[in-house]
Amino acid sequence: MAGHHAGVDAYIAKSADFAKPILEYLRNVVHTACPETEETLKWGFPHFGYRGAMMCSMAAFKQHCSFGFWLAKEILDKGSRDDHEGMGQFGKITSLKDLPGKQKLVSFIKQAMALNEAGVKQKRPKSAPKPEAALPVDLADLLAQKKHLKAKTCFDRFSPSARRDYIEWITEAKTEATRHKRLATALEWLAEGKQRNWKYMA
């Protein structure tokens, strides 16, 4: 069928018997509301895109299904279940009775389409910056020595994350011998202006 992805066909076919009619129904509703939808498999379960962006997805588990919108927080009336269990916005779906009516679902899909058309992106929560890593005493003592001035100058110029890479690498050493070896290597690389993972940098 036009617009249907073979991977989604296979996903539905191998799902539990109770899940097949739920998945087929959801799939049909999405295609009815959004004939231009593009099917794909992401993270192992079916997703529906529109205008080059994610729109909604469905999944089947051993005893329930789920259905949810990529921009759920932007859709004012999500029709969420009160229990908030399961993935998606409609809780654990075990039968078609657990879903809103077709008209309601179509309304949600139309809202999701409008968001994609407007270019709205999923808002990712900003993670708090990590605090500056504490400088180990042995590293601090070495960097304070005149002969390691170049290493200290480089270390001080690095970003907090680049300094943390060195500090964590040194402090995570399992033995004193390994720690001493890493300290010596760190001083050598720092004197050359190299970050901890310089070997993997393009």
Q: Under DSSP, is residue 93 helix (H, G, I), strand (E, B) or coil?
A: strand
Local confidence pLDDT in tens for the 202 residues of the chain: 557 899 999 999 999 999 999 999 999 999 999 999 999 999 899 999 999 999 999 999 999 999 999 888 887 554 444 444 556 788 899 999 999 999 999 999 999 999 999 888 776 656 666 788 899 999 999 999 999 999 999 999 999 989 999 999 999 999 999 999 999 999 999 999 999 988 876 5
Q: Output the pLDDT for position 139.
A: 94
- Ordered by start, the domain boundaries in the chain are 6-117, 137-200
Q: Output the pLDDT for position 15.
A: 95
Q: Output the pLDDT for position 91.
A: 86
| DSSP secondary structure, 21-71, as one string | HHHHHHHHHHHHH-TT-EEEEETTEEEEEETTEEEEEEEE-SS-EEEEETT
Q: Output the pLDDT for position 43.
A: 87
| Residues 181, 185: Cα–Cα separation, whole Å | 6
Q: Output the pLDDT for position 73.
A: 82
Q: How far is CA 153 from the centre of its chain?
A: 37
CATH of domain 6-117: 3.90.1150.200
Q: Output the pLDDT for position 131.
A: 80
Q: Output the pLDDT for position 4.
A: 86
| Residues 64, 172: Cα–Cα separation, whole Å | 43
